[in-house]
Structure 1
Amino acid sequence: MKILVLGSGAGGGFPQWNCNCTLCAGQRHGRVQARPRTQSSIAVSDDGEHWALLNASPDLGHQLRSQPQLQPRHGTRHTPIAAVLLMDAQIDHAAGLLSLREGPPIELYCTPCVFDDLNTGLPLLPALQHYCGVRPHLLPVAGSRSEADFEIDGLPGLRWQALAIPGKAPPYSPHRHAPAVGDNIALHIEDRRSGRSLFYAPGLAAVGPREQAWMQAASCVMVDGTFWTEDEMPHAGLGAKTAAEMGHLPQCGQAGRPGMLQALDRLDGPRKVLIHINNSNPILDEAGPERQALARHGIEVAFDGMEIEL
């Protein structure tokens, strides 16, 4: 299995267009050793020819132009993108669908909750029906069902499993303050030939026993790296909401709420990668103490263009 990181930043990317915080301003002016990042999305393939997008960020057009693997190869019009899978209905994970409107019908995999949100609160799917069209494949993660196995045509070498996880629905969803099963999912993707697998969860509000077991079973985990601390945004003067209120588990824990570092430390064997890094997170500074702390824990930070093969 081939994994290509298209974007590794959280909503707004890094540096964020309207942000003059220490990290964003420092990156712009060369005072902080940090790579720029577009908004979070990855692509996976079993053969390097056919790819599935996992989330479609608002930066998708730029990301596709930057990655030769995802550019047309055959005929006048062509795309190696076989499918798009959405982890949730957040703008920074779904708005990039509009960038695919000139292509063939979009083979879209998502839960019923996400499908409903993208037909109502953020009606991207009705708009796309006037362009390329959308062929929905609803993953039956809803109600009492929290897991579902499925297949994707064009990627027969991969086995897929969708897993309901704790998180937040977007602000325009009726589930924003009444979470429903299927608002947020993770994916477990296994290569049928090698038996190696990826656990992908760019938004993850908590790691309980189920999530811990899924992560331990994977060869590589690529998980929520949004915040370093719970009160990071208020402390930096960038917003009033905490990590928990935004549906993310920070790397550093606090009383009664262990952080992502503790969860990853309990894993024995998997490669550990953080993705969906907010512009406020000090791990963006490659020379900073937080990045050094991650290295001591054996944890990597995803970057745009990063490639992993399992």
Structure 2
Amino acid sequence: MYIRILGSAAGGGFPQWNCNCPNCTGVRTSSIRTSARTQSSIAVSADNKSWVLFNTSPDILSQLQSFDKLQPHRTIRDTAIVAILYVDAQIDHTTGLLMLREGCPHHIYCTDMVYQDLTTAFPIFSMLEHWGGNTIHTIACDGQSSFNIEKIEQLSFTAIHLDSKAPPYSLHRHNPHIGDNIGVFIKDNHSGKSLFYAPGLNVISDEVKSFMHQADCVLIDGTVWRDDELVKLKISNKLASDMGHLPQSGKGGMIEVLSDPKLNNSRKILIHINNTNPILNEDSEERKILIKNNIEVAYDGMDIEL
């Protein structure tokens, strides 16, 4: 299995266009050791030829241009993307679909709740009917029903419900539904290797923990270092947990979760990293703590092979 990190930042990217936090100022002035990042998205393949795109960030065009494997090579109009899978209906995970309108219809996999949001509150599916629409495949997220995708049958996909938040514009924002957010367990049926992908995660349920323990690589929510990170910087009055993200530090935080001995043989990588998170500074004490705990930080262009 091949995994390409197309974008590793949370919404707004890094640096964020209107932010003067220490990280954003540091990357603009080259005063800290770091690298710019686009908004979260990955691509997965079994053969390095046919790819499933996970989410379509607002930065999708530059992400596709940066990865030769997704460039048109065969016919006058062409793509190596055989399907798109959405883990939620957030703006920073879906807006880029509008930039792919010339390729409609796409094969899109999502839950009923994501389909509902993207045809009502943020109706990009409905808008794209004018360009030929898309073929929608709704998926269950019971943690038991695996599915395959045409042209990439070597991989099996299992969706797992996550306790997080629906988008602010969703009818479910304050009335959570199963399917608002999912993690995905991807298994290569030839090699037996597997990936657990969850860029937005607030609570580690027993089911989530079970899939993490099975995975050879855990690619997981790295949004913030501390729960009150945005409050301390006077950027917001909301805690990370209010927005559906589990911080890395503190009791029960992501570092503690990933330090489980059952994950000792797994590769552990943080993705969806907010511009305020000190782990973006490669010389920070927080980054040193991650290194000590064998936890990596995703970056744009990172390749993972399982």
Asked if TM exceeds 0.5, the reply is: yes
Match of 2:71 in 1: 71
Distance in 2, matches of 1:16 and 1:132, equals 34
Match of 1:35 in 2: 35
Preserved CA contact (<8 Å) 1:187 1:201: yes
Identity of aligned residues (%): 50
Distance in 1, matches of 2:22 and 2:294, equals 26
| Structure 1 gaps, min length 5 | none
Q: Are the structure 2 counterparts of residues 230 and 5 from structure 1 closer, same or farther at C-alpha, using a change threshold of 3 Å? A: same
Distance in 2, matches of 1:110 and 1:190, equals 18
Letter in 2 for 1:119: T
Letter in 2 for 1:186: G
Listed as ranges, the matches of 1:144-155 within 5 Å are 145=142, 147-155=144-152
Question: Does residue 168 of structure 2 align to residue 163 of structure 1?
Answer: no
Preserved CA contact (<8 Å) 1:216 1:268: no
Distance in 2, matches of 1:150 and 1:94, equals 22
Question: Does residue 266 of structure 2 align to residue 305 of structure 1?
Answer: no
Preserved CA contact (<8 Å) 1:49 1:80: yes
Q: Are the structure 2 counterparts of residues 182 and 147 from structure 1 closer, same or farther at C-alpha, using a change threshold of 3 Å? A: farther
Match of 1:6 in 2: 6
How large is the Cα RMSD of the aligned pairs? 0.9
TM-score by length of 2: 0.98
| Structure 2 gaps, min length 5 | none
Distance in 2, matches of 1:39 and 1:93, equals 8
Moved over 3 A (4+): none
Distance in 1, matches of 2:250 and 2:206, equals 17
Secondary structure in structure 1 of the residue aligned to 2:131: coil
Secondary structure in structure 1 of the residue aligned to 2:130: coil
Question: Does residue 10 of structure 2 align to residue 16 of structure 1?
Answer: no
Distance in 1, matches of 2:31 and 2:62, equals 26
Distance in 1, matches of 2:132 and 2:193, equals 35
From 239, 254, 267, the equivalent of 1:271 is 267
CA deviation after TM superposition for structure 1 residue 146, in Å? 5.3
From 166, 175, 180, the equivalent of 1:178 is 175
Distance in 2, matches of 1:290 and 1:153, equals 42
Letter in 2 for 1:123: P
CA deviation after TM superposition for structure 1 residue 147, in Å? 4.3
Secondary structure in structure 1 of the residue aligned to 2:102: coil
CA deviation after TM superposition for structure 1 residue 213, in Å? 1.2
Distance in 2, matches of 1:183 and 1:216, equals 23
Question: 1:14-56, CA deviations, whole angstroms, 9 ceiling, x for partnerless residues?
Answer: 0001111111011100111111000000000001110000111
